Chain A
Amino acid sequence: MAYSEKVLDHYNNPRNVGTLDKGSKNVGTGLVGAPECGDVMRLQIEVEETTGLIKDAKFKTFGCGSAIASSSLATEWLKGKTVDEAIGIDNMDIVEELELPPVKIHCSVLAEDAIKAAINDYRVKQGLEPIVQEHSIVH
């Protein structure tokens, strides 16, 4: 199966690989997937307290090229958004941008889950209610 140019680009030059201090109050961490399923994503956001803007985002992913590309793209999109804006990122936007084939849609779903998990972690740390996760497809 051939990969799209965009998937190849993110795979070869992944953006924002790394680790933020998960103990920090301003950092939200989402760890989703499972090793036995063949993909695990860890996505982190660092939020500027005064503005509510996501000033940094990092990821690490165990998975196929599409999973790596989905999480890399997610970090790019997260940076500069407010937390509320970030909640609106939909997996289908990722599918479209990366031109993922149907068998790789689960990679985008996982990335969306990771974004929501990171936001929830941040919200809980801030004493807020976690938002209810809405899964777009069963996987």
Chain B
Amino acid sequence: MSGLKLPIYLDNSATTPTDPRVVEAMIPYFYEKMGNAASRNHPFGWVAEEAVDYAREQIAQLIGASSSKEIIFTSGATEADNLALKGVAEMYARRGNHIITVKTEHKAILDTCKQLEKQGCTVSYLEVGSDGLITPEQVREAMTDKTILVSVMMVNNELGVRQPIEEIAKVAHEGGALFMSDATQAVGKIPVDVEAMGIDLMAFTAHKMYGPKGVGALYVRRKRPRVKVTAQMDGGGHERGMRSGTLNVPGIVGFGKAAELARLEMDEESKRLRYLRDKLENELMQMEETYLNGHPEHRVPHISNISFKYVEGEGLMMGFNQEIAVSSGSACTSASLEPSYVLIALGLDDELAHSSLRFSLGRFTTEEQIDYAIEKVRNAVNRMRDLSPLWEMYKEGIDVSTVEWAEH
């Protein structure tokens, strides 16, 4: 391998590198154009405000919002998720206290829901099928006259599967509830149109789409219906009173630029990533006892989650993590030894869940890197299987699931 720079980054679902064009757009806003966007009476403030408004437009365009005023800047998607859920629960408390969400949501949603349960809300956590998807019928069945919000993530961060958002939104609205989506892994990667999809609130972040870390947004619909959320921080009343705090102007400028680049380059980029992802996946899946996790079609083009049966994910990763960065579905580093709750929710055996790796490709992934990764991962899997007593048992025809394991 000539000139291949190591390590190779295949963990773009965790975060993406900031595009150099984004960095370039941000730089003036650190020093020369350093104003506070809320300073109304001098040019420093006007320049900053103008830059923020422009970014708001760029972001609104990417997601098909009818007005840039519907974009509320936050510190990231976690804050946007919190603001949406807690803000709606508080604002619409008189109308009801029931929220519907899904078991495979990000912790920013699940833990926020748990917090709301302590405060008197009731939350229904829908089960997913073995493909990681829910059906609109499940939502319909869970609806009650107290349901104020249905919150379903657009694309799952571990699997890359895309939920049937449009149909789910329709069901939510028929039942008189608002529809919220955590679209962190979707915006900038696949076409998102809040109008066509019927989304009332949507959380997303810059650093998953080649923008900087530390800046995200909550889309809050202003028309049909006009949605309001109760602010969760007290202060200067920025962002139409919904999110106080001085705006992160350079971050927002970068977010805007990243949104514009994504809008212009998404078609080409997703074709290229799909080709690379499919190549990686097809090559690795040629090995025995490998399983793709999540629906094979209803998913984003850059994520692949594969279980390599009879090898443990963390041990496997150690075989190449100096050269290739990926994520493991096994959380062995936490003393709990718990595998990914998302994979368990699919009904996967704990054993297969412990054996999974998530590959997520990005704008700067090259074919040479993918070829290298295929070779490295394949070798590591083979090496770990040679070390695995379970693989030996499997090869001897013993069904590992029928073995009685000692209490551990």
Residues of A within 8 A of B (CB): 1, 3, 11, 14, 17, 19, 31-42, 60-65, 67-68, 102-103, 106, 110, 113, 117, 139
Contact = CB atoms under 8 A, between A and B. Distances in A.
Interface string B302-340: 000000001110110011000000000010111101010
Given A34-B408, A60-B387, A103-B335, 5 more contacts: A17-B386, A32-B408, A40-B389, A61-B388, A113-B406
B49 interface: no
B354 interface: yes
Contacts of B311: 62
B351 interface: yes
Interface in B47-92: none
B392 interface: yes
Interface of B: 310-312, 314-315, 318-319, 330, 332-335, 337, 339, 349-351, 354, 386-392, 400, 405-406, 408
Contacts, number: 92
A64 B318 contact: yes
A65 B351 CA distance: 17
12 contacts: A3-B318, A34-B406, A35-B350, A35-B351, A35-B354, A36-B405, A37-B350, A61-B388, A63-B315, A64-B332, A67-B312, A113-B406
A88 B347 CA distance: 42
B350 A62 contact: no
A32 B389 CA distance: 11
A106 B406 contact: no
A62 B310 contact: yes
A87 to B, nearest CB: 18
Contacts of B406: 31-34, 113, 117
Of listed A3, A64, A68, A103, residue having the most chain B CB within 10 A:
A64
Contacts of A106: 335, 337
Contact of B387 (A14, A34, A103): A14
Nearest to B315: A64
Contacts of A63: 312, 315, 332
